[in-house]
Amino acid sequence: MKKVAQKFKALSDETRLRILALLAVDEMCVCDLMAILDLPQSTVSRHLAYLRNAGWVEDRRQGVWMYYRLFDDNEPFGGDLRELLKRHLVSLPQAMHDREALTAFRAGRIPGRCA
């Protein structure tokens, strides 16, 4: 029960929900999230750590960059919640606005180089 409660607690913050909505679309580095959310690296990293500890996201290192994606857990409960979020969270107005901002940000970025 503690693990399930931790998953739900992670969803109780608007910034974390925005991060999950963005990660439902694509894997991202911290600089992508910083630019879209207009938050400092420390704040974004703190929220990502919370989501990782709750089992919502996983990370991988590529050179000096950390990339995050939704965790693909095989537990029925966690998988069902993830699919529910992917289906409904991304259609919220703020999530759609964030995706548009991501597209614009990535269009102006040098390929292969974060920020």
* Integer CA distances (angstroms), 93 to 42, 73, 78, 88, in order: 26, 27, 25, 11
13-69 pLDDT tens trace: 999 999 999 999 899 999 899 999 999 999 999 999 999 999 999 999 988 888 999
Q: How much is the pLDDT for 63?
A: 87
Range 5-26 burial, b when 16+ CB lie within 10 A, else e = eebeebbeeeebbbbbbbbbee
Q: Which CATH architecture has domain 2-101?
A: Orthogonal Bundle (1.10)
Q: How much is the pLDDT for 105?
A: 87
76-97 pLDDT tens trace: 667 788 888 888 888 999 999 9
Evaluate if residue 112 carries a pLDDT over 70. Answer: no
Per domain, the residue ranges of the chain are 2-101
pTM: 0.88
Q: 62 has which bridge partners?
A: 65
Q: How much is the pLDDT for 110?
A: 59
Question: H or E element: which one contains 108?
Answer: none
